Every structure is written in structure tokens, then in C-alpha cells.
């Protein structure tokens, strides 16, 4: 008896539901729609490319397990991405899970690829003459969509100058920083830019994890020499997450060899890592010292302004509109991981698209809540009062006086507006804490501030500056 896509997906859902928290299930799995079932390949529809990336990075194993359970071995999964229909320029696109996705999920996925296929082995490429190798770059990670901020300026500019001028001043370029700060993105962007300018160059992107795997496989097949030869043909070698070298002494040895060869031949080397060279444990000193030969650049967490820019940029790319206050709220809540910012945006878009919910602050709070597991304390009315008073150069006494002076009135009104936006306090509580006003005064103040934000550019900037102070506090 033939099962429909719906039936198969429902069975998968039952399995998935038993394995994730209700929040995760609601946010990431419920909105998925089964589209069709052909052979043993299920096609599902997700709301945006970001959504797909999130699933691939976080729930691939789970999806695979569910599908294999329901459809047996060799089960396949295809994604179809539905763009928000608010942007008529974009069409729906389809790509198979086994194709190179727009994210760095290049791990071999035997069971999803249908039939235990392993990725192409680079060593079967014959010949000694200059041959082209597949760069394995992710074309979606470019400089154009990498927002510059004080947190990434050094790495970004060094990368750009490598790509543009081919200087060898920064060799190797060593980029390090925490999770989700753009290391993989920037490393790819350099490669993509080099390729764009000089298509004949052999650029290779590889994760250290894969490098280690390849080496181990090569060593067992006695093709260690092929492995080394292959890597020595590269003009620009990009190795992502080199911290995976830790403790792998034989791979370190071969890596050292390849590094020396390429460096001597004036080939560009680019590495990323989650730690500075000095903090890498279980990596030989001779390798660590080489990491420091060129330029070491840290990626830090983006500041509020940069986060705002990143969010606005992603929304533009996705053709989605979101009220400013929602954008600002997300930027204020998710501070240290850009991938999480994308996750929240994706979650919001999913809710809006599939559950037809309006994207507003309430929905944003809900989705952010699912993300920020341990919620940091919210801002309090007191904190807000203090920051606003400070901004206007008012003492607390002046701020809380009954004065009708314009600055003081405005300072109170802005505080109420921010308290409404950033705390869970009721209007009564806000009134009580800010100037001992009643509910109606608070309602009126909120209206005044919202109107002014709409019509008065200077005022809008004042509010934005204060918000920046608040969220950085």
C-alpha cells in the first residue's frame, strides 16, 4: 500500500516530537509542510533558506533518523524553500539535500544521499599537470553580504586585501573567535573573491575535521603521498576550524609539511579557529609559531549597531518586512551569536508564513524566548530611568520632579516608551515607577513618542542613541 507524503511526514513528526522539547518542535518542525513523496524521497517545504540552514545545522541527524525509521534505508530528503510572497521578485527554489547547500554543512550524508555514497575523493584526479580542483567554496558567503563592523574590521580588510591585491603580507591569515561570529563566512568570502578575480587559481576550502578524515583514510590506503601532492597543488588553501588538529599528532605532521611547502611557494594560507594560537592545546609548538607568522585577527561579538545592520540586511535579502521595534528588540536580545540572530529571524518568518501570525513584539518575545534558554534579567524601569536621565544630563531629582520643562517631560516620556518596549511591566507599574503618573498618562506618552519617532528624524535618533546605551549597558 502506497503511503502519501502526509502520512510519512506525520510518522516522522511523531518520532521527532518524542526527541525534542515542545518549543523546538513547535518552532522548527510544526511549520514544515510535506510536499511530495517519490520513490523513497520525501520533499518538504520550509519558509526560507535560513530555515533550511538551521535545520541542516541543528537537526540533520534527527531528521535522518526519523526518515530512515519511517522509509527504511536509502531514504532521501529534499527541501523546497518557499520565499515570503511579500517579495514578488523571488521565486520558490528547490534544492536537494545532497547538493551543496548554502551553508557549511558539507559533511558526507550517506543515508540522505540515498545509498551510501561518499563524497568525491579528491585523490582520484589524475595527472601532474596543473589541474583544476573543486574549490568546495560556499558561493553564498561573500564580502557583499558580510556586514562590516568594528568587531570584524581587521579580519575583513585583511581578507579583502588578500583577495584583491594578492599581497602575501598576511600569510597565513589566522582568524579566530567564538561560535557564530562569521569565521566560516569570511574565510569563504576570501576564496570566492579570489576565484572571481582569478578563475584559474586553485582555491580550496576544507574544514580541519574533513582534512583529518581525509588524511586518516589516505594513510590507511597507503596514499599518503597522494594526499600531500593534492594539497601541494593549491594556490589558496583555506582550512576552517583548525582547532580540530588538537591531539592528532600524525595529521599535525603532514599538515606541517604541507604548510611549509605552500608557504615557501608563496601560496596563500588562511585558517580559522575558535581560539587564538596561543590558547590552542595539544598542537605542536612549531605549528603554533607558524600560525603567528602572518596576521592574527580576532572576530568579536558585534555591537548593537552592527547587529541592527546585519538583521536589516538579512531581511532585505529575504524580502521580508519587519517593524523597526521588532528588529531593535531582536538586536537587543541576541548579542553574541549571529547564527542565533538568523535563527530567531527564521523562526519569526516561519510563524508569520505558516501560522499567519503578525510579526510584532509579542511574537518576537515568544520566539526569542525559545532561543535564549537562560534568559538574562530584563531591563528594569530603574535602569531605564537612570540611563535616560544621564543622557539628558538630568539628576534623578529633576527627572522625578513635577517640572513641565520640555526636556524633563520628554525624558519621562521616552523612559515610559522604553519601559514598555523592554520590560514586562504593566502600564500602571510603568506609570508608578516613572514620574508617579497614572495609566492614562502612560498611554498618552507612548502615543506621543511613537508619533514623534515617525515624524521627527532628530527625535528618532535621540531614542535610538538611548536604546543603544541601554542595550550595551
* Residues at the site binding ligand ADP, with contacts judged by CB under 6 A: 141, 145-147, 152, 177, 179-185, 310, 338-339, 342
180, interface contact from ligand ADP, Mg ion, none, CB < 5-8 Å by kind: ligand ADP
> Please, which residue, 272 or 332, has the CB nearer to Mg ion?
272
Task: Pull the grid cell for residue 37.
Answer: 513523496
Ramachandran class of 90: left when φ > 0, alpha when ψ lies in -120 to 50, beta otherwise:
beta
Q: In the Cβ-directed half-sphere of 422, how many Cα atoms lie within 13 Å?
A: 27
Checking DSSP bridges between strand 93-96 and strand 76-81, what pairing results, if any? antiparallel
Provide the minimum distance between the beta carbon of 204 and ligand ADP in the complex, in angstroms, as a whole number. Answer: 17
Task: Pull the grid cell for residue 57.
Answer: 545545522
340, interface contact from ligand ADP, Mg ion, none, CB < 5-8 Å by kind: none
Provide the minimum distance between the beta carbon of 318 and ligand ADP in the complex, in angstroms, as a whole number. Answer: 12
79, interface contact from ligand ADP, Mg ion, none, CB < 5-8 Å by kind: none
Provide the minimum distance between the beta carbon of 233 and ligand ADP in the complex, in angstroms, as a whole number. Answer: 26
147, interface contact from ligand ADP, Mg ion, none, CB < 5-8 Å by kind: ligand ADP
Closest to 290 in 3D by CA, of 277, 301, 306, 279: 277
Give the single-character DSSP code of 26: I
172, interface contact from Mg ion, ligand ADP, none, CB < 5-8 Å by kind: none
> Please, which residue, 141 or 422, has the CB nearer to ligand ADP?
141
Provide the minimum distance between the beta carbon of 182 and Mg ion in the complex, in angstroms, as a whole number. Answer: 8
Q: Is 122 helix (H, G, I), strand (E, B) or coil?
A: helix
Q: For residues 382 and 191, what is the distance between their CA atoms, to the nearest angstrom? A: 49
Neighbours of 128 (CB within 10 A): 7
Provide the minimum distance between the beta carbon of 99 and ligand ADP in the complex, in angstroms, as a whole number. Answer: 18
> Please, which residue, 67 or 147, has the CB nearer to ligand ADP?
147
As to burial, measured by CB atoms within 10 angstroms (0-12 exposed, 13-18 middle, 19+ buried), residue 284 is middle
The residues in 182-241 that bind Mg ion, with binding defined as CB under 5 A, are: 183-184
> H/E element holding 384?
helix 381-392
Q: For residues 351 and 339, what is the distance between their CA atoms, to the nearest angstrom? A: 18
26, interface contact from ligand ADP, Mg ion, none, CB < 5-8 Å by kind: none
Provide the minimum distance between the beta carbon of 274 and Mg ion in the complex, in angstroms, as a whole number. Answer: 8
441, interface contact from ligand ADP, Mg ion, none, CB < 5-8 Å by kind: none
State the binding string over 388-417 for Mg ion (x if CB under 5 A, else -).
------------------------------
Provide the minimum distance between the beta carbon of 187 and ligand ADP in the complex, in angstroms, as a whole number. Answer: 8
Provide the minimum distance between the beta carbon of 340 and ligand ADP in the complex, in angstroms, as a whole number. Answer: 9
Task: Pull the grid cell for residue 293.
Answer: 607568522
> Please, which residue, 183 or 195, has the CB nearer to Mg ion?
183
> Contact between 351 and Mg ion (CB under 5 A)?
no
* φ and ψ of 465, to 5 deg: -60, -45
294, interface contact from ligand ADP, Mg ion, none, CB < 5-8 Å by kind: none
> Please, which residue, 110 or 178, has the CB nearer to ligand ADP?
178
Ramachandran class of 81: left when φ > 0, alpha when ψ lies in -120 to 50, beta otherwise:
beta
Q: Which residues pair with 268 in a beta bridge?
A: 236
> Please, which residue, 34 or 277, has the CB nearer to ligand ADP?
277
State the binding string over 173-192 for Mg ion (x if CB under 5 A, else -).
----------xx--------
Size, binding site for Mg ion by CB under 5 A: 2
31, interface contact from Mg ion, ligand ADP, none, CB < 5-8 Å by kind: none
First-to-last C-alpha distance (Å) of the chain: 62
417, interface contact from ligand ADP, Mg ion, none, CB < 5-8 Å by kind: none
| Residue found by looking up cell 517519490 in the block | 38
> Please, which residue, 339 or 420, has the CB nearer to ligand ADP?
339
Neighbours of 168 (CB within 10 A): 13
Q: For residues 79 and 462, what is the distance between their CA atoms, to the nearest angstrom? A: 45
> Please, which residue, 152 or 214, has the CB nearer to ligand ADP?
152
> Please, which residue, 76 or 180, has the CB nearer to ligand ADP?
180
Closest to 90 in 3D by CA, of 49, 143, 129: 49
Provide the minimum distance between the beta carbon of 364 and ligand ADP in the complex, in angstroms, as a whole number. Answer: 19
CB 258 within 8 A of CB 225: no
Give the single-character DSSP code of 246: T
Chain residue whose CB lies nearest ligand ADP? 182
> Please, which residue, 300 or 460, has the CB nearer to ligand ADP?
300
168, interface contact from Mg ion, ligand ADP, none, CB < 5-8 Å by kind: none
- Range 93-125 burial, b when 16+ CB lie within 10 A, else e: eeebbbebbbbbbbeebbbbbbeeeeeeebbee
> Please, which residue, 300 or 357, has the CB nearer to Mg ion?
300
Which residues make Cβ contacts (< 8 Å) with residue 22, sequence separation at least 6?
A: none
CB 293 within 8 A of CB 174: no
Binding site for Mg ion (CB under 5 A): 183-184
Amino acid at each position: 500500500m502506497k503511503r502519501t507524503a502526509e502520512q510519512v511526514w506525520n510518522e516522522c513528526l511523531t518520532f521527532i516530537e518524542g526527541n525534542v522539547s515542545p518549543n523546538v518542535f513547535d518552532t522548527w518542525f510544526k511549520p514544515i509542510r510535506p510536499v511530495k513523496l517519490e520513490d523513497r524521497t520525501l520533499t518538504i517545504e520550509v519558509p526560507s533558506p535560513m530555515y533550511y540552514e538551521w535545520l541542516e545545522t541543528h537537526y540533520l541527524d534527527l531528521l535522518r533518523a526519523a526518515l530512515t525509521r519511517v522509509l527504511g534505508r536509502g531514504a532521501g530528503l529534499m527541501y523546497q524553500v518557499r520565499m515570503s510572497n511579500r517579495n514578488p521578485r523571488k521565486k520558490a527554489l528547490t534544492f536537494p539535500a545532497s547538493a551543496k547547500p548554502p551553508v557549511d554543512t558539507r559533511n558526507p550524508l550517506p543515508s540522505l544521499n540515498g545509498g551510501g555514497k561518499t563524497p568525491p575523493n579528491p585523490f582520484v584526479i589524475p595527472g601532474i599537470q596543473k589541474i583544476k580542483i573543486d574549490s568546495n567554496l560556499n558561493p553564498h558567503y561573500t564580502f557583499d553580504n558580510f556586514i562590516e563592523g568594528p568587531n570584524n574590521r581587521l579580519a575583513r580588510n585583511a581578507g579583502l586585501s588578500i583577495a584583491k591585491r594578492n599581497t602575501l603580507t598576511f600569510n597565513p591569515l589566522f582568524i579566530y573567535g567564538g561560535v557564530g561570529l562569521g569565521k566560516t563566512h569570511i574565510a569563504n568570502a576570501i576564496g570566492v573573491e579570489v576565484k572571481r578575480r582569478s578563475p584559474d587559481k586553485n582555491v580550496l576550502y576544507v574544514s580541519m575535521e574533513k582534512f583529518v578524515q581525509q588524511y586518516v583514510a589516505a594513510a590507511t590506503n597507503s596514499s599518503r603521498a597522494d594526499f600531500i601532492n593534492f594539497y601541494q597543488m593549491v594556490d589558496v588553501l583555506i582550512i576552517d576550524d583548525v582547532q580540530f588538529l588538537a591531539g592528532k599528532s600524525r595529521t599535525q605532521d603532514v599538515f606541517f609539511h604541507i604548510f611549509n611547502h605552500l608557504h615557501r611557494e608563496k601560496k596563500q594560507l588562511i585558517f580559522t579557529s575558535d581560539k587564538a594560537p596561543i590558547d590552542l592545546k595539544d598542537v605542536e609548538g612549531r605549528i603554533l609559531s607558524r600560525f603567528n607568522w602572518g596576521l592574527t585577527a580576532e572576530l568579536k561579538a558585534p555591537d548593537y549597531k552592527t547587529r541592527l545592520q546585519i538583521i536589516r540586511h538579512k531581511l532585505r535579502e529575504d524580502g521580508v518586512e519587519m517593524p523597526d521595534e521588532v528588529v531593535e528588540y531582536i538586536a537587543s536580545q541576541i548579542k553574541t551569536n549571529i547564527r542565533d540572530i538568523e535563527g530567531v529571524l527564521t523562526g519569526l518568518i516561519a510563524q508569520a508564513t505558516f501560522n499567519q501570525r503578525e510579526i510584532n513584539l509579542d511574537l518576537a518575545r515568544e520566539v526569542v524566548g525559545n532561543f535564549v534558554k537562560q534568559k538574562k534579567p530584563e531591563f528594569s524601569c530603574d535602569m531605564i530611568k537612570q540611563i535616560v536621565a544621564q543622557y539628558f544630563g538630568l539628576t534623578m531629582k529633576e527627572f522625578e520632579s513635577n517640572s513641565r520643562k520640555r526636556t524633563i517631560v520628554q525624558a519621562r516620556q521616552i523612559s515610559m516608551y522604553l519601559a514598555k518596549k523592554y520590560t514586562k511591566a504593566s502600564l500602571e507599574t510603568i506609570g508608578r515607577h516613572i514620574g508617579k503618573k497614572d495609566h492614562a498618562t502612560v498611554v498618552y506618552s507612548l502615543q506621543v513618542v511613537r508619533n514623534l519617532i515617525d515624524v521627527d528624524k532628530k527625535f528618532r535618533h535621540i531614542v535610538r542613541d538611548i536604546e543603544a546605551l541601554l542595550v550595551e549597558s
